[in-house]
Chain A
Amino acid sequence: MGGNTFMDIGLGHYLAVSAILFALGLVVVMTRRNAIGILMGLELLLNAAGINFVAFNRFSAPERMDGQIFVIFIVILAAAEAATALALVLNIYHQIHTANVDEAHLLKE
């Protein structure tokens, strides 16, 4: 980074924000037992990845916009993933009357 760390906003700052967001998303994914809570953690992880893509695009190759294209695809995939996962959760809820992923072990029996 170099210079004044608080006033000289550069690539490292955005990467740090994204790293913290990624770690928090990881904690959410690991500590939740509700399937929808886990989905929220996944959204945090995907957003952290998106910040990284845009930051590298902005600071490393500003004459091209491929990083932003990747974020568009990430957003599309996140929407698709959320819709599919919620459909699955609803179906599981109809079967076993809970959204707790620990109790969804129908395949084991």
Chain B
Amino acid sequence: MSAVGCGREGEWALSFHAIIFWALAAMTIVPAIGIVVSKNIVHMAFWLLGTLMGVAGLYLHMEADFLGMTQVFVYIGGINVLLLFGIMLTNREPLYVRAAVKRPAIASAVLLGVVVAVGLIQSYGATEWHTAKDVVIEAGASGSAESMGRPSVKPMTAPGLLDPASAEGVTNGDGTAATLGTYLLSDYILPFEIVSILLLVVLVGAAYIARRDPEGGSA
């Protein structure tokens, strides 16, 4: 293949990459604005669904396929449905939730939000981030770790033992699930176990807190 053909193909992939990014960014931000402006809390929950889908798409766009799927399963299938159940269980007739907030409070909140957004974007732009330049566009290209020209950070595990960095699949198109699993069971085994205990505690605690008092007569 000639160099010109390669370049044109790369350019096309580049613009397609960019178009997908802008579509996903709009899919994330527009429903988030919907959450801010909607007065009906059920509408808020459905706008949140759109934002979560957009964030899942952004994860996929950044080649984090396992995270994208996790986002869909846990956030959309779990948390959002949980929130909807909460709404249905705690609202009798008025689903319009904004009434109690004063107008100056809303104005100052919006002002603070604008200040935070502008400040964050400014400081992000002003900082010289250490980036690996050649991975920015090379979507799906293999061997980017070698082409970076700097030594990769060695994990904390003993050599030869489960070594996440040596696990194939970081960039070779096999997906990230295998590598993430290796990380979770080697470098991050302690947080993994702590989180599993936390989930058990939350399961028991939430069921205990949410139960109706048998003799207290509440509700």
Interchain CA distance A39-B87 in the complex, whole Å? 11
Known A34-B97, A54-B59, A65-B176: A23·B125 in contact at CB below 8 Å: no
Q: How far is the CB of A5 from chain B (nearest CB, A)?
A: 10
Known A59-B132, A93-B90: A66·B62 in contact at CB below 8 Å: no
Task: Mark each residue of chain A from 1 to 39: 1 if its CB lies under 8 Å from any CB of chain B, else 0.
Answer: 100001111111111110111111111101111111101
Scoring A13, A77, A90, A99 by chain B CB atoms within 10 A of each residue's CB, the highest score goes to A90
B209 touches A79 (CB 8 A): no
B205 touches A84 (CB 8 A): yes
How many residues of chain B are within 8 Å of chain A by beta carbon?
97
Interface SS, A side: helix
Which A residues are closer than 8 A to B by beta carbons?
A: 1, 6-17, 19-28, 30-37, 39-41, 43-44, 47, 50-51, 54-66, 68-69, 71-73, 75-80, 82-84, 86-91, 93-95, 98-100, 102
Which B residues are closer than 8 A to A by beta carbons?
A: 14-15, 17-18, 21-22, 25, 28-29, 32-33, 35-36, 41, 44-45, 48, 51-52, 55, 58-59, 62-64, 66-67, 70-71, 74-75, 78-79, 82-83, 85-87, 89-91, 97-98, 100-101, 105-106, 109-110, 112-114, 116-117, 120-121, 124-125, 129-132, 135-137, 144-145, 148, 152-153, 155, 164-165, 170-171, 176, 179-180, 183-184, 187-188, 191, 195, 198-199, 202-203, 205-207, 209-210, 212-213, 218-219
